[in-house]
Amino acid sequence: VPRATDQPGPGRERLNRARVLDAAIALADAEGIDALTMRRLAQGLGVEAMSLYNHIANKNDLLDAMLDRVTDEIELHGDGSDWRRRTRGRAVSAHAVLVRHPWAAWLWTSRLSIGPARMRYVDAALLGLREAGFAPGLLDRAYHTIENHIVGHALQALGFPLDTQQMKEMGASLMRTFPVEQYPELAAHIRYHLDGPEGGDDEFEFGLDLILDGLERMRTADRTGAA
Amino acid sequence: VPRATDQPGPGRERLNRARVLDAAIALADAEGIDALTMRRLAQGLGVEAMSLYNHIANKNDLLDAMLDRVTDEIELHGDGSDWRRRTRGRAVSAHAVLVRHPWAAWLWTSRLSIGPARMRYVDAALLGLREAGFAPGLLDRAYHTIENHIVGHALQALGFPLDTQQMKEMGASLMRTFPVEQYPELAAHIRYHLDGPEGGDDEFEFGLDLILDGLERMRTADRTGAA
DNA sequence: ACCTGAACACCGTTCAAGT
DNA sequence: ACCTGAACACCGTTCAAGT
């Protein structure tokens, strides 16, 4: 089977790691992480699956590299005069990246080896808290609480991967067969999300501010107590 | 190949849905969700993989049923005089279940169809907040913030699936090659977890109390404002 | 140095055949 | 009604062979 771009030339670029990663991210963004198979990825690049192994060690290596590449999209050093504004901006940016690349949200927690971009991110987040004056014990808890909220919300949002239109349809069909009298609160909750005010999109920032407010209160109590 | 238990009798129980689910949960608990394949599960039950399809529709059905079965382990109605104590108890119980069954933590967010146990759980959680007097908009945000924290923490904890001993070893070997001067905060963070006070296990409850405190403050502000 | 065909050991699942 | 052997269409990955 002859192909139009079989011979080297302008139409057929050489494969390299960056091209593999970009194609893998584009595929996972567009069709989900399950669609990302070695054969499918290779096909999109006009190559056989086995060629990929010249540029990546294996699929785990590919996933780690993909995650680190999108992690690098996080805005680490937003402007803002105080720790709260800067931490908030960083959290919002991290959350946006995980929502933009849904597959990255669950790699975020499940991959055990972390790359340079992730190290920079963690270092910046911790530095921000230390400069704010959090003592080690409180700093550690504060960091993890914020992280939990970011990844928790991204994964919840992602677990319901429907746009507004799809959601209304599914909700409506669900409500027809739903045992409303058995689960009245759940029914009311679904109804709220169906015809509630469109702006239910501030849920992430609501919880984030709740957490940051609480941390700020502890921080000042801690400092005045120590002084 | 003759087997000792090939013929019906006391040594060879009939297969049924409950036995399939129990075996699947035991396997996933013991060896992780990746070890749960239809062939492996069948083997543990002394049967061929295809026999399983007489009791479950497919693997998705199996996963949904497994999740709902462990979700039923959550203590829904703890005692406590106020909403805060009851909500706290329910959250702690839900978190404990997800930590006890690590595979369940990510099914929790990724499965779109929810079973009866999950419906009971959500209904109880929402009811607790409504009885506390949260108005619809605040109630919805409160519910999701608590949920995010539960699943976020369970997944983070699970992303580092090592006991204390393993963690010290891995941390120590990491610290030997780690570019400390490049990521000083991250290095300090790892060191803190390595030889910090053993009781770093209250992180979940720290964040939970932070959130509940904030919600209680908003609740009373809301009520006094309305009165 | 990079690419590939054939192969291996796995998956979930279908289907006709057994009892 | 339940169980099974053989098969299908997939996986990730290895390896010897090509250029």
The separation, in Å, between residue A127 CA and nucleotide C13 C1' comes to 52
Q: Which of A139-143, B10-14, B156-160, B165-169 has the lowest mean pLDDT?
A: B10-14
| Closest partner CB to A141 (pick from B120, B149, B203) | B203
| Spatial separation of the C-alpha atoms in residues A209 and A88, rounded to whole Å | 8
| Closest partner CB to B151 (pick from A111, A119, A156) | A156
Which residues does chain B have within 8 Å of residue A115's beta carbon, measured at their own beta carbons? none
> How close is the nearest chain A Cα to the Cα of B52, in Å?
24
Instruction: Place B206 in a pLDDT band, splitting at 50, 70 and 90.
Output: very high
Mean pLDDT of chain B: 88
Spatial contact of B71 and B33, defined as CB atoms under 8 Å apart = no
The amino acid that residue A66 corresponds to is M
| Spatial separation of the C-alpha atoms in residues B198 and B150, rounded to whole Å | 22
Residue nearest to nucleotide D1 (CA to C1'): B54
* For A199, nearest residue in chain B (alpha carbons): B137
Which residues does chain B have within 8 Å of residue A188's beta carbon, measured at their own beta carbons? 126
What pLDDT is stored for residue A193 in this prediction?
83
What pLDDT is stored for residue B76 in this prediction?
97
Cβ distance B155 to A155 less than 8 Å, yes or no, reads yes
Which residues does chain A have within 8 Å of residue B130's beta carbon, measured at their own beta carbons? 185
Q: Write down which residues 37-56 in A have CB closer than 7 A to strand D.
A: 37-40, 49-50, 53
Which residues does chain B have within 8 Å of residue A193's beta carbon, measured at their own beta carbons? 140
Q: Does the predicted TM-score (pTM) go above 0.95?
A: no
| Spatial separation of the C-alpha atoms in residues A114 and A117, rounded to whole Å | 8
SS (H, E, C) chain A: CCCCCCCCECCECCCCHHHHHHHHHHHHHHHCHHHCCHHHHHHHCCCCHHHHHHCCCCHHHHHHHHHHHHHCCCCCCCCCCCHHHHHHHHHHHHHHHHHHCHHHHHHHHHCCCCCHHHHHHHHHHHHHHHHCCCCHHHHHHHHHHHHHHHHHHHHHHHHCCCCHHHHHHHHHHHHHHCCCCCCHHHHHHHHHHHHCCCCHHHHHHHHHHHHHHHHHHHHHHHHHHHC
Question: Greater confidence, B40 or A190?
Answer: B40
* For B142, nearest residue in chain A (alpha carbons): A207
Cβ distance B159 to A185 less than 8 Å, yes or no, reads no
Instruction: Place B162 in a pLDDT band, splitting at 50, 70 and 90.
Output: low
Neighbours of B133 (CB within 10 A): 14
Q: Is B141 exposed, middle or buried (0-12, 13-18, 19+ CB in 10 A)?
A: buried
The separation, in Å, between residue B57 CA and nucleotide D1 C1' comes to 16
The separation, in Å, between residue B108 CA and nucleotide D7 C1' comes to 35
Cβ distance B159 to A111 less than 8 Å, yes or no, reads yes
Size of interface A-B (CB pairs under 8 A): 156
* pLDDT of B160 strictly over 90: no
What pLDDT is stored for residue B5 in this prediction?
38
Positions in chain D where some atom is under 7 Å from a protein CB: 2-6, 10-16
Per-residue pLDDT of chain A (227 residues; tens, 9 = 90+): 233 334 443 335 789 999 999 999 999 999 999 999 999 999 999 999 999 999 999 999 999 999 999 999 999 998 888 999 999 999 999 999 999 999 999 899 998 889 999 999 999 999 999 999 999 999 999 999 999 999 999 998 877 666 667 777 777 777 778 889 999 999 999 888 887 665 557 899 999 999 999 999 999 987 776 65
What pLDDT is stored for residue B7 in this prediction?
41
pLDDT tens, residue by residue, B67-117: 999 999 999 998 888 999 999 999 999 999 999 999 999 899 998 889 999
| Spatial separation of the C-alpha atoms in residues B1 and A109, rounded to whole Å | 45
* For B161, nearest residue in chain A (alpha carbons): A112
Which residues does chain B have within 8 Å of residue A182's beta carbon, measured at their own beta carbons? 119
